[in-house]
Amino acid sequence: MTAQPAQSARQAVQTASRDALHFINGAFTAGTTGQSWVNHCPLDNSVIGLVHEGGKAEIDAAVRAARTALDGEWGRMTVDQRTTMLGAVADEINRRFDEFLEAECLDTGKPMSLARHIDIPRGAANFKMFTDVIKTVSTEFFPTPTPDGAGAINYALRKPKGVIAVISPWNLPLLLMTWKVGPALACGNTVVVKPSEETPLTATLLGEVMNKVGVPKGVYNVVHGLGPNSAGEFLTQHPMVDAITFTGETRTGEAIMKQAAVGVRDVSFELGGKNPALVFADADMDKAIEGTLRSVFANCGQVCLGTERVFVERPIFDEFVRRLKAGAEALTLGRPEDATVNLGPLISQEHRDKVLSYYRKAVEEGATVVTGGGVPDMSDDLKDGAWVQPTIWTGLPDDAACVTEEIFGPCCHIRPFDTEEEAIALANGTPYGLACAVWTENVSRAHRVAARMDVGLCWVNSWFLRDLRTPFGGSKASGIGREGGVHSLEFYTEMTNVCLKL
Ligand code: NAD
């Protein structure tokens, strides 16, 4: 993706209907760079509108607005006033549910059935959940003995950290962005959001919601742009940003961490994965097939928690492969509004090129293509979209690129194993450590195996079953820190310990 002068981009957009403007200090603006790019819908490559690229001036204006808001009305609000306002944000998202749904499906092409049940409700819930947490969390208190016998009391005060930079990806745009903005604001911080260049619409729409419910200007800001040498990099480099929360690729996390080192700013990173599923011979086969179909193919495989490596105990290997293939071949690709559709396109032509390059590489590396491996036949109106076939491979060596590298598409490799020990070693044999799914009806084995998984999240006989109070995040190259429930407070607040001698 490259931005170009807005004038020439505009010529390409003859019927631009949904331009994405920055939202800075409570006002929408195209900014001053004169650069923009055309936002394409991945369903059919049709034009959605222009996205204006923010530069250093827009980032500076947004960060300064966020800093000023901290010292203004927002900073003076009681927790009750602040959380009531965030509850109103959630209610307003729900009131405009269909607008958010339409915008999200336009940007991503994902099925409305999915966005209706996950993306948009979670986008609203992220504001309500953390208001409950912040209102009920208690503080540490220690009565401390002193030599004179009078003692002292120690207690910790939680304060907002300041201006938080939120940098988000395109796969679950509203959900993942509000997963950061919700707790950041509940804790009294202000934010500058840099949404993914692929999915600018719902973050922009949220600006309207903030104004409608009366969130003070400068509390929530959005600057559109790309990553390197653009709004993303400028935001993380800005000296008045106090902390950076980022969701995206591990490689990008490395670049941002270098930028965060200047001024020693805190980071929270939710990064990539190459997640395993372990299917034992004692698993309930129906549940394991249904769950693995979801974990491999949901959101067209573009879920950080998704499964790309499936390990199946040898006695049930052939049956499992046969049934997963049948399930994959029964998936329906098509338009978001069609209720029978399970799979949309990939996010962009560029991402499709990447996924298809892995499809070719799998064959070169010796895979047996169980199903898929190419581009589906779509109807004429969708033939220019970023479609790929749901794909399953077997027979790849353990060091094959398709087994070791995150693809982020609707595909998986299935490999047999013979012992529990071997399965654990295979599952952990990756630099990543985000999530896994274990399928077994043996309760002792479930606990035993879960305890040995080098991951942040281990599901047993389920996948993507989320309780927002639980710690969420990855180990190894999949992230730094945990968010969710009280764990978010560790990142979004600064603590001052008060020691009072009695
Ligand atoms: P990405 O890393 O390419 O981009 C994410 C964001 O970072 C975008 O807004 C981008 O503009 C910005 N960015 C890029 N370079 C930057 C830089 N140098 N400085 C500042 N910002 C920069 O990721 P993506 O392709 O949008 O998303 C897919 C990736 O996200 C996958 O690897 C997936 O596993 C990961 N992901 C992880 C989680 C999780 O919870 N662990 C959740 C969703 C997605």
Rounded to two decimals, what is the model's pTM? 0.95
**What sign does the dihedral 460-118-209-212 (CA atoms) show?**
negative
Question: Residues near 91 by Cβ (< 8 Å), separated by ≥ 6?
Answer: 124, 213
Q: Which residues' Cβ are closer than 6 Å to ligand 1? A: 167-171, 176, 194, 196-197, 226-228, 232-233, 236, 247-249, 252, 255-256, 270-273, 304, 406, 408, 434, 474, 478-479
Question: Residues near 82 by Cβ (< 8 Å), separated by ≥ 6?
Answer: 74, 131, 185, 186, 188
Which CB contacts under 8 angstroms, 24+ apart, belong to 145-152?
A: 146/501, 146/502, 150/501, 150/502, 151/502, 152/499, 152/500, 152/501, 152/502
**Could you tell me which residues are beta bridge partners of residue 27?**
24
Question: Encoding tokens for residue 322?
Answer: 């046969």
**Cα→Cα distances 88→27, 54, 125, 180, 217, Å:** 20, 29, 11, 17, 16
Per-residue pLDDT tens, the chain, 502 aa: give them. Answer: 766 665 554 444 444 468 999 999 999 999 999 999 999 999 999 999 999 999 999 999 999 999 999 999 999 999 999 999 999 999 999 999 999 999 999 999 999 999 999 999 999 999 999 988 998 888 889 999 999 999 999 999 999 999 999 999 999 999 999 999 999 999 999 999 999 999 999 999 999 999 999 999 999 999 999 999 999 999 999 999 999 999 999 999 999 999 999 999 999 999 999 999 999 999 999 999 999 999 999 999 999 999 999 999 999 999 999 999 999 999 999 999 999 999 999 999 999 999 999 999 999 999 999 999 999 999 999 999 999 999 999 999 999 999 999 999 999 999 999 999 999 999 999 999 999 999 999 999 999 999 999 999 999 999 999 999 999 999 999 999 999 999 999 999 999 999 999 9
Whose CA is closest to 188, among 94, 72, 22, 23? 72
Query: How many angstroms separate the alpha carbon of residue 134 from the centre of ligand 1?
Result: 28
Q: Which atom of ligand 1 is nearest to the CA of 170?
A: 26
Q: Which domains does the chain have, with CATH numbers?
A: 4-271+478-501 (3.40.605.10), 275-468 (3.40.309.10)
DSSP string computed for 163-203: EEEEE--SSSHHHHHHHHHHHHHHTT-EEEEE--TT--HHH
Contact by Cβ (8 Å): 367, 398: no
Q: First vs last Cα of the chain: how many Å apart?
A: 63
Report the amino acid identity of residue 270: E
Whose CA is closest to 87, among 123, 124, 121? 124
Rounded Cα distance between 161 and 66, Å, is 12
